[in-house]
Amino acid sequence: MLLALLVVGLTVSAQTGSMLSGVVTDAVTGDTIYYPSVRYKGHDIAVSGTAKGHYNIVRKEGLMLTFSAVGYGSVQVLVKSSTPSILNIKLKPDTKQLAEVVIKQKRGKYSRKDNPAVELMKRVIAAKKNTRLENHDFFQYTKYQKITLAMNDIMPSQIDSGFIGKRRWMLNQVELCPYNNKLILPISVEETVSQHLYRKDPKTERDIIKGQNTTGINQLIQTGDIMNTMLNDVFTDVNIYDNDVRLLRHHFTSPIGNTAISFYRYYIEDTVYVGKDLCYHLQFIPNNTQDIGFRGELYIVADSTLHVKRCNLTLPVNSGVNFVENLQVRQEFTQLDNDEWALSEDDMIAEINVNKLLQKAIVIRTTRLNDYAFDELPTKLFKGGARERREADAMMRDEAFWKQYRAVQLSKSESSMDEFVHRVEQMKGFKYIIFGLKALIENFVETGDKDHPSKVDIGPVNTMFTRNFIDGFRTRISAQTTANLNKHWFLAGYVAHGWGSKKNYYSGELTYSFNKKEYLPREFPKRTISFKSTYDVMSPSDKFLRTDKDNVFTSLKWTKVDKMMFYNRQQLSFEREEEWGLKTTLSLKTEENEAAGALFFEKLSYPVPPALYPSTDITKLLQNGKMRTTELRFELEFAPGRTFINTKQRRIAINLEAPVFVVSHAMGLNGVLGGQYTYNFSEAAVLKRFWLRSWGKFDVRLNAGAQWNKVPFPLLIMPSANLSYIVQRGTFNLINNMEFLNDRYASVDIGWDMNGKLFNRVPLLKKLKWREFIGFKSLWGTLTDKNNPLLAQNAGDETLMYFPEGANVMNPKRPYMELVVGVHNIFKIFHVQYVRRLNYNELSTAQKHGVRLMMRMTF
């Protein structure tokens, strides 16, 4: 929920002589207007104002001077001898949507045919390939970036008698933001200095972080780096020379992208000087302002390069993007000594408003790029696969370093951030507030404090109380050690008690990390060896959950889950991740399973099938047969470019731009550590996200696998069934527990998040900002004769077991299918899906319809 973006203005120094100058502001709010246009219409004299609304233009008495800006009505002033040299102007906002005023009333019907603006943009798009720096064999530059998160729009009532007014020391942290003329209270700031390297053949890009410094309230929470990671993922660098711009976790069509002509409407305003360069000034807006696209201005150099000199991007007034009240992106390009153009300034601001109950926020990002060079770079700089590398002392740079590289000075509040955080920690009751916040955000409770960092964390909190068919009400207490105890060795585990079954359970895991960790062993890159021993109860379908099986929310099931088993498992695992995206896992596992509830492990050699057992007494059903396996497993996962955030409970991938490939093989070892079966199970998976620009995103997941040997049904392939009401990615919504058992399978899971593309055409839904989702899931499976206990030829087999009640053999010519239709962004937080089972509805286990829920906040 901590979001952000940025824009920092460049103030043009005042000129002397016979000039007119001043500031252009909003007549309603008093805010300065970004980059106003000031021109003597019809006389080829025009200038662009600055991000702070300042302008300077030559004085021409007797001519009409026009002031205009995107989204505002223009103002005309006749310049006379009595006109003061300091002329401040107020512009009134358009009372109607920009697209309606400009297109329907002022400019008439828009047409691409014989449109000079469109013809100019076609030339600009065609010229891109000749002006990109990527045409060089090598290039490099230095990048300074500052990201500030602040409480936005501090009101006088808050200062006089509100939260801040009662803590007068906070006034020292309040300052006037020069980018929106509002009072803000900065609460965190991150500075980064990096060197960007590029090689054309083989194409390689590398960022070397030379210095990084973070201060602010995120330091008060152990997983506070999540905020910075999320900010950098949500508010990525904008490259308008790409066809798509990834920002706010959406893909925007670039105003100079290859498909921009069909997505945007362009208007030539005038020719103006930006600095010393004569430029074509254009405005653009999306055809539909609620589509995911920009509106803004382009300044194109009026020479053969047709390079962008400046661009100002914002969101349309009725944009479908959530939470962002004001987004401004400003980029400035500079001509280098070799006459090429390169990005020199890339600034953004985002004013965030989650809801009326929470304080508004603003994120300001300031980026400066300089020291461009095109010399050949040593090969050693590109060794290794990691896109980003951090110098050893990057987090410990002294003030001399920052004085050399800090391209934009810190404000007074940013400079005193450490003192501010110290005062926050001394607030009355603060330790109780932060304790509650940590438990809520991190799902864990720390046992230490600032002076004595937590060596043991208690949690997850949401697993302390739950229930299941065997245990009834169940309690659990969990804990894990942190790197504050040891940087290499880690312990984690839990003890649990089933109050209905009167059984006790446990789990313990010892992990050694070959590389030092900041807090937990799962931090990327993971290079660990671990041993885990567990005794517990589970449903066979629990292994498909992407969360803890004791999660109190997923314990709510849409079907009766009475087929369960106790498991006693010991596992030795080795995991190694490479920075370029390859993960290798090797594990040896021995496990004893004991059937429980309505589940039976009974071989075909036993004359009476479990379904005919006369007793249903729970104490007898706890004695339903055992089996033991020993398994050696190897897995390779390749996910280039994927980034993560580390919570105290798990690691979550936040970047799904690149495809993910997984292959694995498990081998059963008969006679080793008590293993009773020989088997070989192979599996492969591919996950890919396709961006469809304003049509949203399309996720495709393909899986296939085979069990090659004769095995009892617990070792056959069970569909990845989700038995809870909570949406679980990669699972089937309406397949029951072990409903189909196969030894060959293939599945497809596709989901299309249309991002409101259709709903935006419906007036009521357009106002609600609901977004549509369509999904389709299908499973093909077959069971070879050697594993089918229903065939007469397998009667009395010593290996095969009777199928549990409700298990079925699929028809290989009839794949299972289900349809998903969803609406998300309800109240900007809820996602509701209607799921429909399309076939196999004649089975007694079938449920044709269902509703699934999820809480998800997206831009």
User: For residues 664 and 722, what is the distance between their CA atoms, to the nearest angstrom?
Assistant: 22
| DSSP letter assigned to residue 317 | T
Work out whether strand 19-26 and strand 89-91 pair parallel, antiparallel, or are unpaired: parallel
List pLDDT tens digits, range 618-668.
Answer: 444 444 689 999 999 999 999 887 777 767 777 777 767 778 999 999 999
Closest of 246, 250, 351 to residue 3, by C-alpha: 351
| CA triple 301-305-310, angle to 5 deg | 35
What mean pLDDT value characterizes the chain?
A: 85
The helix/strand/coil state of 426 is coil
Of 223, 585, 220, 565, give the one whose Cα is nearest residue 425.
220
d(CA 783, CA 800): 13
pLDDT for res 393: 87
The pair of structure tokens assigned to 288 is 């539909």
Each residue's pLDDT tens digit, 788-821: 999 999 988 889 999 998 999 999 999 999 999 9
User: Is the Cβ–Cβ distance between 672 and 546 less than 8 Å?
Assistant: no
> Could you tell me where the DSSP H helices lie in 391-429?
399-405, 412-415, 417-425
Neighbours of 398 (CB within 10 A): 9
C-beta pairs of 170-178 under 8 Å, 24+ apart in sequence = 170/423, 172/413, 172/416, 172/420, 173/413, 173/416, 173/420, 174/413, 175/411, 175/412, 175/413, 177/150, 177/152, 177/362, 177/364, 178/9, 178/52
Six token digits for residue 804: 């549990």
pLDDT at 857: 75
Q: For 546-572, what is each residue's pLDDT tens digit? A: 788 888 888 888 888 999 999 999 999
730 pLDDT more than 90: no
Which residues are paired to 699 by β-bridges? Answer: 689, 751
What is the per-residue pLDDT for 327? 87
Instruction: Give the tens place of pLDDT for each residue, 253-300.
Output: 899 999 899 999 999 988 888 888 999 999 999 887 777 789 999 999
Type of residue found at 705: G
pLDDT by residue (tens digit) across 186-240? 988 999 999 999 999 988 889 999 999 888 887 776 555 666 677 777 778 888 9
pLDDT at 17 over 60: no
Burial string for 61-85 (b: 16+ CB within 10 Å, else e) reads eeeebbbbbbbbeebeeebeeeeee
Q: Three-state DSSP class for 800?
A: coil
As a 3-state breakdown, the chain gives helix, strand, coil percent values, each rounded to 5, of 15, 40, 40
Of 594, 593, 630, 808, which is closest to residue 719 (Cα–Cα)? 808
Tokens representing 640 are 């280039």
HEC secondary structure over 450-474: CCCCCCEEECCHHHCEEEECCCEEE
Helix (H, G, I), strand (E, B) or coil at 571: strand
Q: Where are the beta strands (DSSP E) in 548-691?
A: 563-577, 582-597, 626-638, 644-646, 651-653, 660-668, 679-691
Give the model confidence (pLDDT) of 476-517 as tens digits: 999 999 999 999 999 999 999 999 999 999 999 999 999 999
Confidence band of 101 (pLDDT split at 50, 70, 90): very low
Q: Which residue has the higher pLDDT, 49 or 462?
A: 462
What would the mean pLDDT of 108-136 be, rounded to a whole number? 88
Please give the domain boundaries of the chain with CATH numbers for all domains: 5-95 (2.60.40.1120), 132-248+321-424 (no CATH), 539-855 (2.40.160)
Average pLDDT of span 377-403 = 85
Q: Own/partner pairs for 332-339, CB < 8 Å, 24+ apart?
A: 332/10, 333/307, 333/308, 333/309, 335/277, 336/372, 338/374
- The two structure tokens encoding residue 56: 């300077």
Q: Token match 């401004």: residue?
A: 328
The mean pLDDT value for 108-123 works out to: 87
Dihedral (C-alpha) 58, 59, 64, 65: value to the nearest 10 degrees?
A: 50
Torsion of CA 804, 809, 814, 820, to 10 degrees: 20
Q: What is the pLDDT of residues 334-358, one digit of tens each?
A: 999 998 999 999 999 888 887 776 7
